[in-house]
Amino acid sequence: MSDESFEVKVVSVVEETADAHSISFAVPAGAEERFAYKPGQFLTLAVPSEQTGVAARCYSLSSSPIGGGPLTITVKRTAGGYASNWVCDHLHEGDSIRVLPPSGIFTPASLSADLLLFAAGSGITPVVSITRTALQQGTGRIVLFYANRDERSVIFADELSRLAAEHPDRLQVVHWLETLQGLPVQEQLKAFARDYATYDAFVCGPAPFMKMVVAALKELEFPRERRHQEKFISLGGNPFGDLHDREVAEHEIEDAERDEDDAAADAGEPGPEGPVRLEVELDGEQYAFDDWAPGTKMLDHLEAKGVKAPYSCREGECSACAVRLLEGEVTMLHNDVLDDEDIADGIRLGCQSVPVTDVVKVTYH
């Protein structure tokens, strides 16, 4: 459980559309380094819940890390969505809420790359952060395909028009409105993307939209390293480490350790017989440990060594803790977010990974 949550103060709330609000937070004094972020990352909010105490929800940052502005998330109401409606109804200027520092891997490796961005509805949130930042700090061209129900549903409509006008040689924004054009189909998305086959593609929006876009990109033979897809998961656990959770964990720790050992055995790959060497690259630093115990999760081992490795849910339900394997192999005890392509690409969840080989090398980049 996290000891890294922070109480942040709401400094402004902007109604972007009838059902979408942008909420800006002040970074706590002394925590500036912990809240440094990359465009496309998200915050995890501790939304109060009468049923569970806390409903942990991840919301993408729409702000840019360039320019010193406040941290801003943009939240769109969803039908029957408790947390999104609570945020839009209850967070006002002067209020406070607990958050975890920024996390996530939906971010360009280079802000100067040519970017092909696909967004639908509230999927524009991380995409506009990437757009704002790349225009300020990068040099590449940016093409944005943005799908919405109707004109009134377009979040950031005025700003996107302004940015396109200010950067006519770099930013092209194409709006697709369901009321005028119907829902886009795969062949249309493929035809649109064909002229940008050398660009790095980022896709965010409802699952059917993302599935169609990714399928279109695959048909155009976009390589895996140039296809990026954001995934929104409702976290089932509580990553904020409330007292009740700690007490339960203390009583159940022995059972949990047995469950982890059983899960590793069930995975079908024999584990190492003795301590494992773990080498990690994180934020430009290199770490090496020769005593990673079989059955111990990678994140737990790194934390025990004082390494501030990123994470959010600790349940295998988000990608905040994702690492890329450089050598060796691990078994994930639980995974609700990585697909077969992610795994084939060497991506693993640090919070759920236990060693399979005697040497494991990973990077958080």
Residue 339: its pLDDT value, please? 81
Q: In terms of C-beta density within 10 A (0-12 exposed, 13-18 middle, 19 or more buried), how is residue 158 classed?
A: exposed
- CA distances for 152 relative to 19, 52, 58, 61, 175, angstroms: 10, 35, 25, 22, 12
- Residue 25 pairs in a beta bridge with 10, 71
- pTM of this structure: 0.76
Q: What does the pLDDT average to over 73-77?
A: 95
Predicted local confidence at residue 126, as pLDDT:
96
Q: Is the pLDDT of residue 356 over 90?
A: yes
For the segment 298-325, the average pLDDT, to the nearest whole number, is: 86
DSSP code, position 298: H
Tens digit of each residue's pLDDT (9 = 90 or more) over 174-227: 999 999 999 999 999 999 999 999 999 999 998 899 999 999 999 999 998 899
Q: Domain 115-229, what architecture? A: 3-Layer(aba) Sandwich (3.40)
For residue 279, the cross-strand partners are: 288, 361
**How confident is the model at residue 119, as a pLDDT?**
97
Q: Residue 68's pLDDT is what?
A: 86
Least confident span in 21-35, 114-128, 249-263: 249-263
Question: In sequence order, what DSSP letters do the residues of 264-279 get, joined into one string?
Answer: HHHTTSPPPSS-EEEE
Does the pLDDT at position 85 exceed 70?
yes
Burial class (CB in 10 A: 0-12, 13-18, 19+), 306: exposed
Most confident among 107-121, 232-246, 258-272 (mean pLDDT): 107-121
What's residue 266's pLDDT? 47
Three-state secondary structure call for residue 285: strand
User: Which pLDDT value is given to residue 260?
Assistant: 44
pLDDT for 305: 93
Count each helix (H run) and each strand (E run) in the chain, helices first.
9, 18
Tokens representing residue 173 in the block: 């924004």
User: Domain 6-102, what fold?
Assistant: Elongation Factor Tu (Ef-tu); domain 3 (2.40.30)
For 365, the 3-state DSSP assignment is coil
Per-residue pLDDT at 32:
93
Lowest mean pLDDT among 126-140, 160-174, 242-256, 345-359: 242-256
CB 42 within 8 A of CB 232: no
Cβ atoms of 177 and 150 closer than 8 Å: yes
CA dist 60 and 141 (Å) reads 23
Please write down the long-range contacts of 187-193, taking CB distance under 8 Å and 24 or more positions apart. 187/216, 189/118, 189/145, 189/213, 189/216, 190/216, 190/219, 190/220, 192/145, 193/116, 193/217, 193/220, 193/222
The boundaries of every CATH 3.10.20.30 domain in the chain are 269-363
Supply the mean pLDDT for the chain.
Answer: 87
At the top level of CATH, the class of 269-363 is alpha beta
Phi, psi of 258 (to 5 degrees): -65, -40
DSSP 351: G
- Angle, vertex CA 337, rays to CA 357 and CA 229, nearest 5: 110
Residue 242 has pLDDT above 80, yes or no: no
The length of the chain is 365
pLDDT per position as a tens digit, 39-62? 999 998 999 887 767 888 889 999
Would you place residue 105 in the very low, low, confident or very high pLDDT band (cuts 50, 70, 90)? confident
**pLDDT confidence tier of residue 256, bands split at 50, 70 and 90:** very low
Taking only the tens place, the pLDDT of each residue in 8-36 is 999 999 999 999 999 999 999 999 999 99
Q: Residue 31 in contact with residue 6, Cβ under 8 Å?
A: yes
